[in-house]
Amino acid sequence: MKYTRTEIPEVIICEPKVFGDHRGYFMESFKEDTLTEFLGYKIHFCQDNESASTKGVLRGLHYQMGTFAQTKLVRVIQGAVIDVAVDIRKGSPTFGQHVAVELSAENKKQLLVPKGFAHGFVVLSDTAIFSYKVDALYSFENERGLAFDDPTLNINWGLEKSALILSDKDTKNPTLENADLFDYNINYYE
């Protein structure tokens, strides 16, 4: 597995070694020991999630607060998406900045989205199957969202706004200025 820090160093692109031949391919999609060695701390994933969506579906920007804050390791099994992680750690040198990466079944890239970041994706292909690991269980009471179209974030989702398909809930998320935020000075991995 190759790990690469993005322009926001805590957000990591993970690229597996893919071994292919006439039968297909094989890859390790997650390896705890090499990720732990790269990060310098251990993440205990407790649940795998999967969603299927059609072109234009935008899910996000989502996060959870408190002890339910989540690290996510995300990947695409079918199709292609633009995946986005937004730094919402007040006091961070990269506060309000984001990383956007195309993840696809073809490129097999994954994105590690740490605690303290809002996360979302938009489907570029006709359909997409999105799979991800989390290190904390879902909590309705601690679930939060951030407006996908907040002008201060200036996220290019790769599609016209009129082509986007959102849940009712995701059309009502607050802007960064009005959102619940994390504190950069707290270590959420202790």
* Catalytic residue positions, numbered: 62, 132
Separation CA 22–CA 84 (nearest Å): 34
Q: Which of 171, 169, 170, 177 is nearest to 153 (CA)?
A: 177
Reported in sequence order, the residue ranges of the chain that DSSP labels E, i.e. its strands, are 2-5, 12-15, 18-21, 24-27, 47-54, 58-64, 72-78, 80-87, 89-90, 98-104, 110-113, 117-123, 127-134, 143-145, 182-183
**Exposure of 112 in the CB half-sphere (CA atoms within 13 A):** 28
Task: State the residue for tokens 């070694």.
Answer: 17
